[in-house]
Amino acid sequence: MKSHIVVPALSQIKLTEPLFASYIEQVTKKLLPYQWEVLNDRVPGVKPSYCVSNFRIAAGLEQGPHRGVVFCDTDAYKWLETLAYCLECGRGRELLPAAEELIGLIAAAQEPDGYLQTYFTIDHPELKWKNLTEGHELYGAGHLMEAAVAFHRATGNETILQVAIRLADLICRVFGDGPERCQGYPGHQEVELGLVKLYRLTRIRRYLDLARHFLEIRGRRPNYLMQELARTGKDRIFPEFADYDEKYAQTHLPPAEQRTAEGHAVRAMYMYSAMADIALECEDEGLKNACLELWRNVTERRMYITGGIGSSGHLERFTTDYDLPNDRMYCESCASVGLMMFGQRMAALTGSAAYYDTVERALCNTVLAGVQDQGDRYFYVNPLEVWPENCLPSTSMAHVKPVRQRWFDVACCPANIGRTLASLGQYLYARDEKSLYVNQLISSSVTERIRGVGLRLEMQAELREAFRAEFLLELEGEGSVMLRVRIPAWLEGHSFVLDGQPIRPAVENGYAVLALSRPGQQHLVLTGQTKPRWVAANSRVRADQGRLALAFGPYVYCLEQTDNGDNLSQIYVRPDTSVTVAPGDPALPGNLPALRFTGLRLESGVEKLYGAPSFRLTEQQLCAIPYGLWCNREPGEMSVWLKALLPALDLLSSGD
């Protein structure tokens, strides 16, 4: 049966947890104003984006060629989407004049038939829809639709919605079944997600049908994108596409037949998210089964402990099972945003809480790491190990930056992180006909009306060794509501107390289920253990053999040079080392604890480059901080995985 799990309106959700609240506050205070200046080429020292200027030229207000990356229109769309979520939550009204100016430019840049992509309008009108592999027209359309739906919902603005509808209608005329229509599909998936959102807002069925069509036609033989590349010859927009293969954009098989995560990680996540959307809307079991298998392949074999994905530094893509190098991978911020999107949709599709363990892993680690605490510096690539001196341009490490950047030539990540933070409430709560779902144990509140009963929930959660979340529940009206509280994988031995009485709610699909029917206030307490824990990787993960990572609750921890000295590769740790939960550095946002423990530093005793060893171990007091907060102080080395000092003889004898 079709699930009806949806997110309450963002305006009904308020986040109060200090760490996330501070990042969200920065979205309107710094991130959006800063990005607006960048999109308008007004930040000294930052290479021009040309984003807004391209819209002006396409609208005929300025003269000149298109500049910047082919799909840089999407930076404006994601900026608008981010602001829409802020407005829905009652913040960012001071940016409305900028939004209205931008919407006016977007509308003016749209061609009479609905076409909208400044690159082709300005420079190559003759090539519209003819280079789907590289042109990103459908990708841009998808981001416009997402922005339009969000902005319309937040403000009632009709102009941007009508721009999106005109473009969607044009795409419905150009693509689809029939010899008169283009048999292509997106080179970078995204329009499917936008079409589903537009369908859910307008209930115009052809948008949903086209999203499904794009998934059904993908992977058919002969391969449309490969044929197109042969036609376009050497005129590459992206020179690296010279060695393009059909797995890169997930066209090697029809999506319903795909079982392993292949190719470009962001493309993959957007496509899997769209597959989950269509599986839900169309009750398509084939797509659902593919999603289940793809999710397992990603999270059980191809994902970093930080929720990063895409382990090849070249072409930002998946490689093979258990190939997870720590210093030269990609782990694009957008890919982890995409993993959160995919996980949220899988939870809606299956009703299972387990997907939120991964959503939380991606959010609390890689996505958080992707942005500076002030909101105006960003990581595109998220390494688990950094030695700043070897991150050299024009080398195989050129993509790895040891400090967050002010902007990028291809600037997909900054606004993607922005829209994720601005809409974080969507990952905290969900509802269906009879239940409220608490998907993250992050301090916040929500109000919702379910089966005619008003429910207000206020949660205060504190992550210490003894975890405690207090819920103030308030019911208004006659009837009952089910409360489903996700029990995270990191919480040990949970117990509940309701109004002073211990209770043992059943756990279904990873949620503790409580029936609430008493009008008035109730007080619920969830407790459990969350001791810091050492984590090892599967033996097949070559990069992590004989190494340990440290985790606490949903947070993966790392060592930074500023706390622990340089050359972190010398650090060893015993697997039974006890870890102390200590106050965090006040220089870091939120008040997450630091973890302190005694490690060992190994000296080889070799003075020259090579020589006879005279190993020496000395004890060193070490301090780990959450990986999501790394590089918010003095830049330097960082490492998540530490070498384990294993008692080799004990291990051998224990096998007897």
Catalytic residue list: 316, 412
Which residue's CB is nearer to Zn ion, number 117 or number 366? 366
Q: Distance between CA 285 and CA 128 in Å, rounded?
A: 35
End-to-end CA distance of the chain: 52
Interface stretch with Zn ion, choices 36-44, 92-100, 216-224, 330-338 (CB under 5 A): 330-338
CB 75 within 8 Å of CB 58: no
Residues 241-260 binding Zn ion (CB under 5 A) are: none
Interface stretch with Zn ion, choices 198-206, 311-319, 333-341, 619-627 (CB under 5 A): 333-341
Which residue's CB is nearer to Zn ion, number 57 or number 69? 69
Shortest gap between Cβ of 359 and Zn ion (angstroms)?
18
Beta strands 642-644; 571-573: pairing state:
parallel
Which residue's CB is nearer to Zn ion, number 334 or number 353? 334
Strands of the sheet with 435-438, listed across from one edge? 429-431, 435-438, 481-486, 511-516, 506-508
Shortest gap between Cβ of 408 and Zn ion (angstroms)?
8
Beta strands 435-438; 481-486: pairing state:
parallel
Residues 417-476 binding Zn ion (CB under 5 A) are: none
Which residue's CB is nearer to Zn ion, number 115 or number 304? 304
Q: Give the residue nearest to Zn ion (CB).
A: 334
Site string for Zn ion, 82-111 (x = CB under 5 A): ------------------------------
Token pair recorded at residue 47: 């290479």
- Helix (H) or strand (E) holding 473, with range, is strand 466-476
Shortest gap between Cβ of 382 and Zn ion (angstroms)?
10
Q: Distance between CA 88 and CA 14 in Å, rounded?
A: 11
Would you list the DSSP string of 88-136? HTT--GGGHHHHHHHHHHHHHHS-TTS---HHHHHT-GGGTTT-HHHH-
**DSSP summary character for residue 234:** T
Shortest gap between Cβ of 46 and Zn ion (angstroms)?
17
Which residue's CB is nearer to Zn ion, number 334 or number 556? 334
Which residue's CB is nearer to Zn ion, number 170 or number 412? 412
The single residue listed with the structure tokens 């020496």 is 616
Altogether, the residues listed in the chain come to a count of 656
Which residue's CB is nearer to Zn ion, number 218 or number 419? 419
Q: Distance between CA 265 and CA 374 in Å, rounded?
A: 27
Interface stretch with Zn ion, choices 17-25, 324-332, 420-428, 645-653 (CB under 5 A): 324-332
CB 128 within 8 Å of CB 115: yes
Q: Distance between CA 288 and CA 255 in Å, rounded?
A: 10
Site string for Zn ion, 402-421 (x = CB under 5 A): ----------xx--------
- Could you say which of 32, 132, 291, 334 contacts Zn ion (CB under 5 A)? 334
Q: Distance between CA 560 and CA 566 in Å, rounded?
A: 8
**DSSP summary character for residue 583:** P
Shortest gap between Cβ of 73 and Zn ion (angstroms)?
15
Residues 147-166 binding Zn ion (CB under 5 A) are: none
Shortest gap between Cβ of 274 and Zn ion (angstroms)?
18
Which residue's CB is nearer to Zn ion, number 7 or number 266? 266
Shortest gap between Cβ of 451 and Zn ion (angstroms)?
41
The single residue listed with the structure tokens 């829905």 is 88
**Distance from chain centroid for Cα 229:** 30
Shortest gap between Cβ of 335 and Zn ion (angstroms)?
7
Q: Distance between CA 626 and CA 199 in Å, rounded?
A: 40
Rg (CA), the chain: 25
How many CB atoms are closer than 10 A to CB 408?
17
Which residue's CB is nearer to Zn ion, number 88 or number 332? 332
CB 402 within 8 Å of CB 11: no
Q: Which one, of 15, 26, 17, 45, lies nearest residue 632 by Cα?
A: 26
Residues in CB range of 520: below 8 A, 6 or more apart: 474, 475
Shortest gap between Cβ of 370 and Zn ion (angstroms)?
9
- With CB under 5 A, what is the number of residues at the site for Zn ion? 4
CB 30 within 8 Å of CB 422: no
Shortest gap between Cβ of 412 and Zn ion (angstroms)?
3
- DSSP 3-state of 459: strand
69 contacts Zn ion (rule: CB under 5 A): no
Q: Which residues pair with 482 in a beta bridge?
A: 435, 515
- Amino acid identity at 572: Y
Shortest gap between Cβ of 78 and Zn ion (angstroms)?
10
Residue 33 burial by CB count (10 A; 0-12/13-18/19+): exposed, middle or buried?
Answer: middle
CB 433 within 8 Å of CB 450: yes
Which residue's CB is nearer to Zn ion, number 121 or number 416? 416
Which residue's CB is nearer to Zn ion, number 193 or number 334? 334
Binding site for Zn ion (CB under 5 A): 332, 334, 412-413
